[in-house]
Amino acid sequence: MGSYGLLFYLNSLSQEQKAGKGIKVSYCGKLFSVEFAEQRTGFGTRKFFVCPVCGKRRTKLFLCGSGLFCVDCADLKPYKDLQNSTKGGYREIQYRMERFAERNGIKIKKWPFEFVDYADHPAYNRKKFQKVLKILQVLENMRLQNILFKTTFRQRTIKAVLTGKHPALTKYTLPELQKYLWVIE
Ligand SMILES: [Zn+2]
């Protein structure tokens, strides 16, 4: 399988798990303990992971090296010295995503980009719009890989994604692209 960075997602929690207790998650033969918290809302309770580093409530945790981190801690901890101007790095990808989204009538609401945030868009169920979301979700995968693992991408790869020709666009579904990080070459 081409996935090397696992993103622990809230959906991986079952309803019976009690807040404040560590749950064990196994991945690639390693066992990880994750704490989570609950927050009451008007509709019931919302679950969050607790980042083992900063203790903040998060909807996602990343497996990075041998530990779990939230997106901020993963960004700061292993690759503090990341050059913002790196060619094929996250700054460039983010800029290209913004421009591409704008050209297609989308304003990126927040980072990380998640296609589900655009379900209220009038064109959401149209095929062309789904393709636009997929291009953005592949680029988001690449952006996160640069932030987390310092992976940089060739201009050829970025261009192939932007023009809708990259094989990752047909290989993975939107939820798969949002949930896991894939090797994109
Ligand atoms: Zn954190």
Nearest to 92 by CA among 133, 134, 132, 151: 151
Distance of CA 109 from the midpoint of ligand 1 (Å): 21
Distance of CA 124 from the midpoint of ligand 1 (Å): 32
Q: What DSSP line would sit under 102-146, residue for residue?
A: HHTT----SSS--GGGGTTSTTTTSHHHHHHHHHHHHHHHHHHHH
Distance of CA 169 from the midpoint of ligand 1 (Å): 30
pLDDT digits (tens, 9 = 90+) for 123-133: 999 999 999 99
Q: What DSSP line would sit under 63-103, residue for residue?
A: EETTEEE-HHHHHHTTTTT--TT-TTSHHHHHHHHHHHHHH
Distance of CA 131 from the midpoint of ligand 1 (Å): 32
Distance of CA 34 from the midpoint of ligand 1 (Å): 13
Q: Which residue has the higher pLDDT, 150 or 174?
A: 174
Q: Is 44 helix (H, G, I), strand (E, B) or coil?
A: strand
Nearest to 145 by CA among 183, 98, 92: 183
How far is 74 from 5, CA to CA, in rounded Å?
A: 12
- What's the pLDDT at 51? 85
Phi and psi torsions of 155, nearest 5°: -60, -35
Nearest to 52 by CA among 30, 22, 13: 22
Phi and psi torsions of 49, nearest 5°: -80, 155
Asked if residue 153 has pLDDT above 80, the reply is yes
Mean pLDDT along residues 153-173 = 95
Nearest to 15 by CA among 42, 41, 33, 36: 36
Lowest-pLDDT range, 83-97, 127-141, 171-185? Answer: 83-97
Asked if residue 149 has pLDDT above 60, the reply is yes
pLDDT digits (tens, 9 = 90+) for 52-98: 888 888 877 777 666 787 877 765 434 444 444 578 888 889 989 99
Tell me the HSE value of 69 on the side-chain side, using a 13 A CA sphere. Answer: 18
Distance of CA 153 from the midpoint of ligand 1 (Å): 26
Mean per-residue pLDDT of the chain: 80
Distance of CA 86 from the midpoint of ligand 1 (Å): 24
Distances (CA, A) of 158 to 97, 101, 110, 155: 10, 15, 21, 5
Q: Are 157 and 96 in contact (CB under 8 A)?
A: no
Distance of CA 65 from the midpoint of ligand 1 (Å): 15
pTM above 0.85, yes or no: no
Q: Where are the domains of the chain?
A: 7-69, 90-179
Q: Which residue has the higher pLDDT, 1 or 48?
A: 48
Place of tokens 């993963």: 74
Lowest-pLDDT range, 21-25, 80-84, 170-174, 177-181? Answer: 80-84
Lowest-pLDDT range, 21-30, 70-79, 161-170? Answer: 70-79
